[in-house]
A and B are shown apart, each in its own frame.
Chain A
Amino acid sequence: MNSISNLAAKFRTCPVTGLKVDRTAENLIKVNAVVAVVCLLLGAVAALLIVLTRWQAVHLLPAEWYYRLLTSHGLNMLIFFIIFFEMAVLYFAGPVLLNCRLPAPKLGWVNFGLMVIGMIMVNTMVYTGKADVTFTSYPPLMADPMYYLGIILFAVGALLVTFQFMATLVVAKKEKTYEGSIPLVVFGALTANIIAIITLLHGALIFIPAFLWSLGLMNMDPQIYRLVFWGLGHSSQQINVAAHVAIWYLLAGLTCGGVVLSEKVSRAAYVLYILFISMASAHHLLVDPGFGPAWKVWNTSYAMYLAVLASMIHGFTVPAGVEMGLRLRGYTNGLFEWLRKAPWGDPGFSGMALSVVIFGFMGGITGVTIGTEQINIIAHNTLRIPGHFHVTVVGGTALAFMAVTYYVLPLIFQKRVAFWGLAKLQPYLFGIGISIMGMGMIFQGIFGVPRRHWDITFSGALFPVEFHPAVTFFQAVMGIGGIIAFTGALAFILIAVVTVFFGKTVTEADLKSGASGLPQGVLKLPPQVHTGAHVVKAHETGARGTVVLVGIFFVCFVLYYFTNWKILSFLWKVG
């Protein structure tokens, strides 16, 4: 009897999904998600102040505080917010989706403690002015040893969580909590987990020596630092890609009954990520003289394009899965009835859809183009680079994380989402804002505006530097987009915080009556009908609408790619 009551205390059964939920895993999801939102707030406030400084018409901060906040923004957004949230994703995709216990639950708390201590140490060093080294901390810029130690502690904690996830897979298989292969969403999380291990190993390989260097115990070769650092710095963003693609598949299913067109194709695309996506780190070294063309071209083109292929596969299969899911529910008329009738008022769906579009159309196209060695010479270290990664990491990953939060709140925190009307608007506000800001940055970069720089008028410089007058316009575009995106981020934080700490608990009556604050995937997802005329029609027509959308994507891709070759030809005019 005791063992049965112990087991009951260890698990709860979700009234919506019927899944058996390990309570420790659930608590770890909650605390990781809460700390992620705190880091998001720190990063977002810094973001607003940075964009209002880079906008020369405003030029808010003095140089010292600009670079300090740039360091804080990069670390809190690219590392802390994202990785804390990814830890929550791993605890969800492991014990919860596999319906099993969390192995070594106490270790989960130790890991979380290490990560929090690391995060606090790093932020303390940054805000006390002991680490004005920006996100990259390139030598010879040196921070206080506690800064490097903080990053090491954070990375060790995260690495241990990735091992815990691998152990969860072993436990679930041994205890037969699932049949056949692991579900596709869990396979996506496994992909993110493997990329995280590759990333964190590089982090250990460079930040342990950097720590010793800061103590004066060894020398540091800047070129080797750059090589190994980017194995961490860029690959950490590839964890995001794998994680947010897994979230796309999850939300496609949860929000509108999206189907997986081909398990084989989607899994093969994930394997391509595992093998090749981390090599994109070499993009940062394309103008470094220390590496030969073979190394550069292999890592950024031949091998990397296999990972690009994988992204394009997911970029087709996710919307096509949504289309087929909706066609199987009867929306079979024309090319786009399914798109018009999709649940655009569900923030889980709208956030996912905007994430796919922004990541694919803006992030993907710009990334592949500027990652080409020849074209990189006109884009490297310009504002085009942050423009690119803001639409991939923020418009793609952060927006997908926000979208899934609207399902995590009722399913894991068991709370009705507060400010439901605002929640419906929030993904649009954030997605549109970040797209406008990204476009403003990308166009400034095309006109040669440098990244990172505090003052692009270069006042006091020996030689006058002038940019095309259009830059002034695109600065305003960037600034206005940034303010809209910040408002969207703030709305998300407000909704999440109020829901978690003051939200109403979800009751069975709420589920039956369709109370406000519960997305439609939680309330009343219509069952899929596998018989009838519309099902035959859906199978006959296939995902034609998505094929048209993908056609538009390729036209945009070709136009942007070859326009850049044209711009390059102006720069390197022959004759």
Chain B
Amino acid sequence: MSTNQEVPLGQRLCDSPFLLLIAGIVVMFAFYTIWGLIEVLNLPQATLP
């Protein structure tokens, strides 16, 4: 059994800085930025009185 397998999954995930970086970017951009942009871009044109 290699040493790597003895390390718990959670710890291995926390030991992967680039995985954490990607996860952080994806969650923020998906839920805040892109979803927000979709909401704004789909707004109907305001009708003038």
Contacts and interface: CB of A to CB of B under 8 A. Distances in A.
A298 B28 CA distance: 12
Nearest to A274: B24
B27 interface: yes
A452 interface: no
Interface in A458-503: none
Contacts of A169: 17
Contacts of A2: none
A181 B15 CA distance: 6
A27 to B, nearest CB: 25
Interface in B6-46: 10-11, 13-15, 17-18, 20-21, 23-25, 27-28, 31-33, 35-37, 39-40, 43
Contact of A282 (B10, B20, B32): B32
Contact of B32 (A182, A191, A279, A290): A279
Contacts of B27: 275-276, 279
Interface stretch (A54-62, A224-232, A312-320, A567-575): A224-232
A281 B15 contact: no
Interface string A190-231: 110011011001100000000000000000010110011001
Contacts of A534: none
Contacts of A268: 10
B28 A290 contact: no
Nearest to A281: B32
A271 interface: yes
Contact of B36 (A194, A198, A227, A264): A227
A181 B40 contact: no
Interface string A284-322: 010000111001001100010000000000000000000
Given A181-B14, A190-B20, A278-B24, A292 B39 contact: yes
A166 B25 CA distance: 15
A451 interface: no
B39 A271 contact: no
Contacts of A154: none
A194 B31 contact: no
Contact of A264 (B10, B18, B20): B10
Given A290-B39, A295-B39, A274 B32 contact: no
Classify the secondary structure of B's interface with A: helix
Given A279-B31, A299-B32, A198 B37 contact: no
B23 to A, nearest CB: 6
Contact of B24 (A194, A231, A290, A298): A194
Nearest to B8: A264
A130 interface: no
Contact of B21 (A194, A279, A303): A194
B11 to A, nearest CB: 6
A166 B37 contact: no
B17 A166 contact: yes
B47 to A, nearest CB: 15
A299 B31 contact: yes
What range describes how many residues of B lie at the interface? Answer: 20 to 34
A267 interface: yes
What range describes how many residues of A lie at the interface? Answer: 35 or more
Interface string A151-194: 00000000000000010010000000000011000010011001
A295 B36 CA distance: 7
B6 to A, nearest CB: 11
Given A271-B20, A291-B39, A197 B25 contact: yes
Contacts of B15: 181-182
A298 B27 CA distance: 12
Contacts of A292: 39
Contacts of A197: 21, 24-25
Contact of B20 (A194, A221, A295): A194
Scoring A187, A194, A292 by chain B CB atoms within 10 A of each residue's CB, the highest score goes to A194
A502 B3 CA distance: 52
B14 A271 contact: yes
A231 to B, nearest CB: 6
A194 B11 CA distance: 18
Interface of B: 10-11, 13-15, 17-18, 20-21, 23-25, 27-28, 31-33, 35-37, 39-40, 43
Of all A-B residue pairs in the complex, the 7 with the closest CB atoms, nearest first, are A274-B24, A278-B28, A227-B36, A194-B24, A290-B40, A275-B27, A194-B21
Given A271-B14, A274-B23, 6 more contacts: A166-B17, A191-B20, A224-B40, A235-B28, A278-B32, A295-B39
22 contacts: A182-B15, A187-B14, A194-B17, A197-B21, A198-B28, A224-B37, A224-B40, A227-B37, A228-B33, A235-B28, A264-B11, A271-B13, A274-B20, A275-B27, A278-B24, A279-B27, A279-B31, A282-B32, A290-B40, A291-B36, A291-B39, A295-B36
